[in-house]
Chains A and B, each alone.
Chain A
């Protein structure tokens, strides 16, 4: 029995090993065939994939001033002039930091909400109307704030809409793809595709918490009486993709997509806090009203590489 079992397991192990070896061999064979397909059949048959590669990054510091635009914003966009500084110990790897300051610009939805929900509703004159009573926690009205906060202006952007005010993101950049581009078959430039990732520190301006109590038991002002903004820092992962073009040995330009996923309360509304899955409003605006957003940005920038002299491979 023991012999049978050992034989059984032995054959099973051999079969598994053989299958694994076959799979590895198959993968190796297919990957090798893929990598060599162009070389075998193309006009540069037999040549190495890259010769005399111009190392735009290796041993250089890259300065990239640019401007970023947030995408798919609900109430306020961020336009972010910024600077990226990256040092590349290798042509394919760099470490750096990106930072910028955000200017908030209202979306059409914010304007429409201001017009229909606040200006035309005139709740100061009709405080007991149904719409005004039901929105007193969520839509600002001109007046004073308790606790010495600045007065309410009655403008959504001033009193309750959230915005991203500054960014600081240390990041690692990998450059797996290097190549060339021909524009109109007459202009040629080196190009690369880079990926980056790192932690991001984002300055947020959000509606100040109201209703309920603080952690220490201190009561907060009622949300119907409190519409003001406060600052906090959100920490989030950031990652993205860059397309870079090199016009000269040390000057180039590029575009970048950046993701900054984190939770925040973009509208300053009381959307959550009680009921099943906290799906119902609780007359309080606090952390439970933050929602996860896949915040994203597009950037365009120029690049300046220092020192200006470039290395070339054999």
Chain B
């Protein structure tokens, strides 16, 4: 009879354990006063590291004692604890509510992101535009940011342009880029974490970005280089892009992004008017209308989040 009573107590304790594992459900924040915890701080030397298995509270999870096994049941009936394989019990499946990503590793809310990057244009086969840029974003929520970015470009006419012109006797209008600046909104729709080789964990997110700005370009004179000299001129551009950010720690991340800067370019006139005066008239140098241009570029660099630390509101 006494064994039966003890068995019931053990069963009750085991049922209570999964309940205590739900110590941080969604609703916990409303029920309890959030405790601010800085995750970058080392725990005090006299406290064990919180491994998420704290079963405290009134639900019977007080581990008590040195062994941490059985709790009050073991105090009442030590002989039962001696007959239980607690390692085996600990491995039993628990139907616990878990989130795929329990906690966002690097919060962005009210932080600045300073992103320095190198860039390479992808879709201009005739002129390569390598360069660099800097972006600054301010996160008005954890997923939404407003910011600015600027790019400066170099220009290198490719051998492909020369070969096509030589082989086909066709002059193809080409363009130099000088700089580009934008005001942007970015949104982080997805974030997650990866385990590398089943050993270490790193966190990442995907973001999309859109903006409006200006890009300064000018034609490279290939049709009539003897008479035509073009000046850089800014044009309105629109930006659409997206990328991935991989966090090394809570304030440093690698960023890889593809952005399309869309603008209406002015190209060199493929026709040369008759007569030297007309040929040297700058009003005749540009082709009529504009050319819809996609400047697709890949950007890779590092992001620094400032301030580097923050207070994490963690319901306990």
- Using known A-B contacts A38-B201, A72-B125, A74-B160, determine if residue A180 contacts B100 with beta carbons closer than 8 Å: yes
Docked pose: A116 CA to B164 CA in angstroms:
13
- Interface bracket on A: 35 or more
Once bound together, how far apart are the Cα atoms of A43 and B105, in whole Å?
Answer: 9
Any B CB within 8 A of the CB of A42: yes
Determine the distance from Cα of A135 to Cα of B169 in the docked complex, in whole angstroms: 7
Contact B168 A113 (CB under 8 A): yes
**Are the CB atoms of B101 and A180 closer together than 8 Å?**
yes
Q: Which of A31-56 contact B (CB under 8 A)?
A: 34-47, 49-50, 53
Closest-by-CB residue of B relative to A115 is: B170
| Pick from B51, B102, B169: contact of A46, CB under 8 Å | B51
Q: What's the nearest-Cβ distance from chain A to residue B98, in Å?
A: 9
B189 touches A183 (CB 8 A): yes
B123 within 8 A of A: yes
Is B66 an interface residue, CB under 8 A from the partner?
no
Across the interface, do B191 and A270 meet the contact criterion of CB distance under 8 Å? no
Q: Which A residues touch B283, using CB under 8 A?
A: none
- Closest residue of chain A to B250 (Cβ to Cβ) is A41
A residues 142-198 touching B (CB-CB < 8 Å): 176-184, 188-189, 191-193
A109 in the interface (beta carbon within 8 A) = yes
A29 interface residue (CB < 8 Å to B): no
**A residues less than 8 Å from B193 (CB atoms):** 179-180
The complex places the Cα of A270 from the Cα of B166 at a distance, in Å, of 10
Beta-carbon nearest neighbor of B270 in chain A: A116
The residues in A between 84 and 117 inclusive whose CB is less than 8 angstroms from any CB of B are: 92, 109, 112-113, 116-117
CB-based contact A117/B160 at 8 Å: no
Find out whether the CB atom of A46 lies under 8 angstroms from the CB atom of B49.
yes
Instruction: Name the distance in Å between A49's Cβ and chain B's nearest Cβ.
Output: 5
Interface contact B105-A50, CB-CB below 8 Å: no
Contact present for A42 and B189 (CB under 8 Å):
no
Residues in B neighbouring A36, C-beta threshold 8 A? 200
Confirm or deny: B306 has a beta carbon within 8 angstroms of a beta carbon on chain A: no
Residues of A within 8 A of B42 (CB): 41
Instruction: Report yes or no: A176 in contact with B196, Cβ–Cβ below 8 A.
Output: yes
- Is A37's CB under 8 angstroms from B49's CB? no
B198/A50 in contact, CB under 8 A: yes
Residue in B123, B163, B168, B196 whose beta carbon sits within 8 Å of that of A72 in the complex: B123
Contacts of B198 in A (CB 8 A): 49-50, 53, 92, 178
Choose among A34, A38, A178, A181 the residue that contacts B191 (Cβ–Cβ < 8 A).
A181
Would you call B199 and A191 a contact (CB within 8 A)?
no
What chain A residues lie within 8 Å of B91 (beta carbons)? Answer: 314
Q: Does A138 contact B (CB under 8 A)?
A: yes
Closest to B203 in A: A38
- Tell me if A269 counts as interface (CB < 8 A to partner B): yes
A42/B105 in contact, CB under 8 A = yes
Which residues does chain B contribute within 8 Å of A34, judged by CB atoms? 200
Main secondary structure of the interface of A (DSSP, over half): mixed
| Binary interface encoding of chain B residues 55-85 relative to chain A, with 1 for a CB under 8 A from any of its CBs, else 0 | 0000000000000000000000000000000
Mark each residue of chain B from 27 to 52: 1 if its CB lies under 8 Å from any CB of chain A, else 0: 00000000000011010000001111
Residues of A within 8 A of B105 (CB): 38, 42
Closest to B100 in A: A188
How distant is the Cα of A34 from the Cα of B247 in the complex, in angstroms? 13
Interface residue? B146 (CB, 8 A): no
Report B191-211 CB contacts with A as 1/0, cut-off 8 Å.
111111111110000000000
A269 B163 Cβ-Cβ under 8 A: yes
A182–B168 CB distance below 8 A: no
Contact partner of A38 among B122, B160, B166, B200, CB < 8 A? Answer: B200
Assess whether A72 is in contact with B169, with CB atoms less than 8 Å apart.
no
| B52 near A43: Cβ-Cβ < 8 Å | yes
Q: Are A117 and B192 in contact (CB under 8 A)?
A: no
Q: Which of B49, B103, B160, B170 contacts A113 (CB 8 A)?
A: B170
Interface string of B159-198 (1 = CB under 8 A from A): 0100110111110100000000000000001111111111
Whether A1 is near chain B, meaning CB under 8 Å from some CB there, is: no
Whole-angstrom CA separation of A183 from B188 in the bound complex: 9
Q: How far is the CB of A279 from chain B (nearest CB, A)?
A: 9
**Which residue of chain B has the shortest Cβ distance to A113 in the bound complex?**
B168
Q: Which listed residue (A43, A50, A117, A281) contacts B195, Cβ 8 A?
A: A50
Known contacts A109-B125, A183-B190, A314-B91; A135 and B168 CB within 8 A of each other: yes
Alpha-carbon separation in the docked complex, A46 to B99 (Å): 19
Contact A177 B169, beta carbon cutoff 8 Å: no
Contact B164 A267 (CB under 8 A): yes
Could you list 11 examples of A-B contacts with CB < 8 Å? A43-B52, A43-B103, A44-B51, A53-B198, A92-B197, A113-B170, A139-B168, A178-B195, A181-B100, A189-B100, A269-B164
Instruction: Identify the 3 closest CB pairs spanning chains A and B, nearest first.
Output: A188-B100, A179-B194, A181-B192
List residues of A whose CB falls within 8 A of some B CB: 34-47, 49-50, 53, 71-72, 74, 92, 109, 112-113, 116-117, 131, 134-135, 138-139, 176-184, 188-189, 191-193, 267, 269-271, 281, 314
